[in-house]
A and B are shown apart, each in its own frame.
Chain A
Amino acid sequence: MAANYDIPTPKKRLLSLQINPKLFEKATDEEKKQQDVMAQSTTFFRDGMRRLMKNPLAVISMIILIFVILVMAIAPSVVPYGYDEIITVEGVRDKEAANLKPFEYSPKEQAYMEKYNVQVFPHIMGTDELCRDYFIRVVYGTRVSFFVGIFASLMVLVIGTIYGAIAGYAGGKTDLIMMRIVDIIYSLPDILIIILLSVVLRETLDVSKVPLLGGLGSNMISMFIVFGLLYWVGMARLVRGQVLQTKENEYVLAAKSMGASSGRIIRKHILPNCLSVIIITTAQQIPTAIFTESYLSFIGLGVSLPRPSLGSLANAARSGMQSYPWKLVFPAAAIVLIVLAFNLIGDAMRDAFDPKLRK
């Protein structure tokens, strides 16, 4: 049989491991324990969250976003004005309340306050040229932008992940054809396509009779279609690359050798190992979508009036930029703040969860 450890005579067996046991000392229990373990036990998620929380930019961004979300949720029930409601004093339209500065009251409101000795809710961001409270319009605009950003990202997530996962797992010719389609879409100049599609869809799409969607206006719907058609390709490429890479790991082969089905391998091994990339990419997609929505609304192709979005508010403020600069500053600042915060969080998430950067 095999070479014997206990005979410390090297020349007897040409092939033996030739280890002389007499030269070795028995390890103490303490030494054995030192060999034993290991890093602190953490799950992948907790580990990533810990690193995320150590990033000051990410924490500040999160605080800003939480603040914005709170304002969006609370303001409509606290502020006694509607986004399309013209200011009235004692049931009469207040024609003098147009273009007020932040925290300014119109003469009628001042008279009213003095007469009854009460406080009228201030116009935190002033009013617009149609005598509507500007703060509540900006809040609603932010809501629309958020909604568009998150919904569009979810659409990109679903389409891109399914498409990319199929291409990556199938491989071969299927993959080749599917990815050439992606390449074609990817090479189109997206802003041009968005503008063309928005114009065409606006003309041809009639959603006013469709329940639920009708309220959004055809512009918003066409925007989702545009997002759905164009922006999933980036996601599909990423997911495919990740699936291809994950598929090559020996643990996938090991699962196969144990008799696991393809479904089980995708569910238990491939998707969980691609999840962080998918989540991070989705998070990074949100600011892109918000920015594109603002951009389209700004050039008049976005959300339809009277519903405000941050982009259309900024667009409307353009005409009176010299006299009423704050009307441009507030929505523009809101766009910058939100897009920046989302971007910083997305990047921080990538740094915290990307397994390639793990030590």
Chain B
Amino acid sequence: MGVPEKIDTENLVELHNLKEYFPVRTGAFSTVPLKAVDGVSFNIRAGETLGLVGESGCGKTTVGRTMLRLYKPTGGEFYFDGELVTDKNIHRLRKQMQMVFQDPYSSLDPRMTVEDIIGEPLDIYHLYSSKAQRHERIMELMELVGLNAEHATRYAHEFSGGQRQRIGIARALAVNPKFIVCDEPVSALDVSIQAQVINMFEDLQKKLGVAYLFIAHDLLVVHHISKRIAVMYLGKLVEIADADDLNDNPIHPYTLSLLSAIPIPDPKTARASKRIVLEGDVPSPMHMPSGCPFRTRCRYATEQCAKEMPPLTDRGNGHSVACWNR
């Protein structure tokens, strides 16, 4: 493997300038790059959670999938536990990096029993020496995520959405990973179930010390579970800060509008904070605006915003913002 390049020993995940451009066919022989992810960097420490929020279509899923090399990255480096992730070592590293998918219906094979679904990673990495050991491990995992072990021989379609998501989590945990990408794991669930599943993610983190990249499209869900939160807009990070810091002291105009979109039940607070309604649609990632991607909808936009992309600059306390005017 050579000498592993390590930049900060405390970080389990270090992502530098990740880029993922999808070629989109525009004519018979011409393609245009769709910049789904354009220069995203962040760090996650062992056992911690980074929340990643943004409107749907801004590239959150692509960040997660490109990190796990389900898509070949167009550019950037990903250091996992100090080791540069490449095509060569990804098979070994997948044992430590797992994924929970957004759709609990299509992410479980309808022809497999729960036992075989959870056992699949064990089968792939030959993590047992006997059938009995495999069975025992699966029972243990089911119990861990709050599933009734008696249902191991059932098929996934017999379970509710929340239970199916638990199956997906048990599958991700089977290999004892250090890091799990959770791609909107609760957005397909009923609101009443969402809180249960989020609490379970927290409990599992406390018990197992696993780190999460927790993706969601609304801040509410992410704030509850995350140590730090990154806000994404059109393939770029626009703000990253500690969860409470972002909540109390948001800086980027896009984050402000996200926060003001959250309904507040208390009328006093509601009057105090004026609602910022975003105008216009999200521009297509194939026809990005020049300079700051948010300028077409930004109240603070100036001439400079159209010329140059603002860099992500530290405003103290690890609170970084990409904006010229705030």
Task: Mark A residues whose CB is within 8 Å of B.
Answer: 1-3, 10-11, 13-19, 35-39, 41, 43-44, 249-251, 253-260, 264, 268-269, 272-273, 355
Contact = CB atoms under 8 A, between A and B. Distances in A.
Nearest to B100: A254
A41 B70 contact: no
Contacts of B158: 37-39, 41
Nearest to B221: A17
Interface stretch (B74-82, B129-137, B259-267): B259-267
B124 interface: yes
Contact of B266 (A10, A264, A269, A272): A10
Contacts of B219: 15
Interface in B214-233: 219-220, 223-227
Interface in B61-109: 65, 68, 70, 91, 94-95, 98-99, 101-103, 106-109
Contact of B265 (A10, A249, A258): A10
Contacts of B195: 17, 19
B89 to A, nearest CB: 12
A355 B106 CA distance: 13
A257 to B, nearest CB: 5
Contact of B111 (A13, A257, A272): A272
B155 A41 contact: yes
A272 B111 CA distance: 7
A273 B153 CA distance: 18
B30 interface: no
B94 A251 contact: no
30 contacts: A1-B227, A2-B202, A2-B224, A10-B269, A14-B262, A14-B269, A15-B223, A15-B224, A15-B259, A15-B262, A17-B224, A35-B160, A37-B148, A37-B151, A39-B157, A41-B153, A250-B107, A251-B108, A253-B70, A253-B101, A257-B68, A257-B94, A257-B99, A258-B94, A258-B175, A259-B91, A259-B94, A259-B124, A260-B124, A272-B111
Nearest to A47: B155
B220 A17 contact: yes
A249 B202 CA distance: 28
A267 to B, nearest CB: 12
Nearest to A18: B265
Nearest to A256: B70
B39 interface: no
Contacts of B227: 1
A18 B224 CA distance: 11
| Most chain B CB neighbours (cut-off 10 Å) among A253, A269, A355 | A253
Interface of A (DSSP majority class) = loop
B98 A16 contact: no
Contacts, number: 123
B148 A36 contact: yes
A264 B124 contact: yes
Contacts of A355: 110
A253 B226 CA distance: 26
Contacts of B106: 249-251
Contacts of A268: 109, 112, 120
B109 A16 contact: no
Contacts of B111: 44, 269, 272-273
A36 B269 CA distance: 39
A13 B269 CA distance: 10
Nearest first, the 8 A-B pairs at minimum CB distance are: A15-B223, A250-B107, A259-B94, A251-B109, A250-B106, A11-B269, A272-B111, A38-B158
Nearest to B272: A11
Given A14-B259, A16-B224, A254 B243 contact: no
B220 to A, nearest CB: 6
Contacts of B153: 41
B315 interface: no
Interface string B145-167: 00010010111011110000000
Given A15-B223, A253-B101, 4 more contacts: A3-B224, A44-B155, A251-B107, A258-B121
B269 A254 contact: no
Contacts of A17: 195, 220, 224
B28 to A, nearest CB: 12
Contacts of B175: 258
Contacts of A43: 155
